[in-house]
A and B are shown apart, each in its own frame.
Chain A
Amino acid sequence: MASNYYDPADLRKFGNITEWSEELGTKFFEYYNKVFEEGALSAREKSLIALAVAHVIQCPYCIDAYTKDGLQRGITKEEMMEAVHAGAAIESGATLVHGVQMMNKYNKLSM
């Protein structure tokens, strides 16, 4: 067994999760693949959303996978970085909007 938590080579084995729970694994991958097909959103747009989310949830496998996916789709590095900023803005906004709660509590407790 590897002595570190994340090994890039493990991404190639993602499909193996189905071996220990075939029904759930199969259903998951069917759902996953369906999500990223062309739809009301283009597959290209969904790839950029996935890249942004990958950064927010800090999944190294997903970052590797969707950087490569973006390259394959001809997505530019400027587009990729803007997507990461969109994710980061929401994440920092989510922190900062709690500042309102802090202000409310502060005001309530203060004379």
Chain B
Amino acid sequence: MATKSLKARQSDLASTQNQLDYLEGGLFASGELPRFKDKLADAGLTALKPKALEILQINLGYMCNQVCAHCHVDAGPDRKEIMTRDTMEQCLKVIRTTGAHTLDLTGGAPEMNPDFRWFVTEAAKAGIQDFIVRSNLTIIRANKKYHDLPQFFAEHNIHVVSSMPHYTRGKTDRQRGDGVFDKSIQALKDLNAVGYGMPDSSLRLDLVYNPSGAFLPGDQASLELDFKQALREDFGIEFHNLFAITNLPISRFLEYLIASENYEDYMTALVEAYNPEAVKNVMCTNTLSVSWDGWLYDCDFNQMLDLKVDTPLRHITDYNEQVLQDRNIIISQHCYGCTAGSGSSCQGTVA
């Protein structure tokens, strides 16, 4: 498994343009598979438009303590892009006035941003209904200074959404690195200890499952039952819901698909599993993504492909919710990842 980001390795795929070229070429250029816009056209849609904004997703930086093989952010310890307090101040201005009911903090490991706790404390005052932090779990055990994160999350009634690719050690460590499984189990126990994930607890702990390889996630409800049973019986761990998320063919997962000669089969599987019902609720229709440097995107994936929102006002300093509501969402073939089967989003299935 690679231990550095695409960027640090100066991989061809570190270039977002190269990734986009890849997604336009191959089976899509030859016509063997239809492009995403053609699928939309089949359903009479000329463009994908936003609905009411519900979720503001802010990426606090690409620095992470892990280098997961599938990471769409290309995050890792060697990534230095993190949000400054100035940009956070700009975000807070938006948070105080937005119509969105959910604030979703992600990364990298958002907790590694030195102003993370300050930002959370300030944002919590804004009275958002659901306040999510996407934690990779191991950060809680990575260093003493992070050991009290569960208490900090609880103090601010933060909804914790954590990655857990499998309930077995082998699958987890192959995707996320050696030792990740054991550290994740300990972190889940730490979260349970302060009340997170316990039945009837208001401290919400949800897990994110994404396949550890070139296949699509199975039925979310069945997987949730399997995870609950295994984590309870083997480790006494409790959690609320499991979100099954499809890996999108960008960044390091795209690199893996190409290197393992799974790219064509994977794209075919995504296109064959295309579900028009999922299109109605894809997350870009109710979410807005903000990058570490304040640019606005339709979703976290478009952020990683550097596809900024298609409006004249594209930075947090120019934020205008009305203007953003009228935009067309930028699409390419990676969008098939969110519309396959029961659909996929940062909140799990959508259809």
- A: which residues have CB within 8 A of B? 8-9, 12, 43-44, 68, 71-74, 76
Contacts and interface: CB of A to CB of B under 8 A. Distances in A.
Interface string B262-275: 00110010000000
Given A72-B218, A74-B222, A74-B226, 12 more contacts: A8-B265, A9-B264, A12-B265, A12-B268, A44-B222, A68-B215, A71-B213, A71-B215, A72-B215, A72-B217, A73-B219, A74-B223
- Chain B interface residue number, banded: 10 to 19
Interface string B207-219: 0000101011111
B332 interface: no
B218 A73 contact: yes
Contacts of A8: 265
Contact of A74 (B218, B264, B265, B268): B218
User: Most chain-B CB neighbours within 10 Å: which of A68, A73, A74, A76?
Assistant: A74
B35 interface: no
B18 interface: no
A87 B139 CA distance: 44
B211 to A, nearest CB: 7
Contact of B211 (A12, A44, A72): A72
Interface in B217-231: 217-219, 222-223, 226
Contacts of B15: none
B204 interface: no
User: Most chain-A CB neighbours within 10 Å: which of B215, B218, B223?
Assistant: B218
A68 B223 CA distance: 15
B121 interface: no
A44 B222 CA distance: 9
A9 B27 CA distance: 12
B70 interface: no
Contacts of A71: 211, 213, 215
B215 A76 contact: no
B168 interface: yes
Contacts of A12: 265, 268
B166 A74 contact: yes
A12 B211 CA distance: 21
B168 A76 contact: yes
A74 B222 CA distance: 9
A38 B268 CA distance: 25
Interface string B87-105: 0000000000000000000
A73 B211 contact: no
Interface in B166-189: 166, 168
A74 B164 CA distance: 13
Contacts of A76: 168
B205 to A, nearest CB: 20
A77 to B, nearest CB: 8
Contacts of A9: 264
A68 B226 CA distance: 18
19 contacts: A9-B264, A12-B265, A12-B268, A43-B222, A44-B222, A71-B215, A72-B211, A72-B215, A72-B216, A72-B217, A72-B218, A73-B218, A73-B219, A73-B222, A73-B223, A74-B166, A74-B218, A74-B226, A76-B168
A68 B166 CA distance: 16
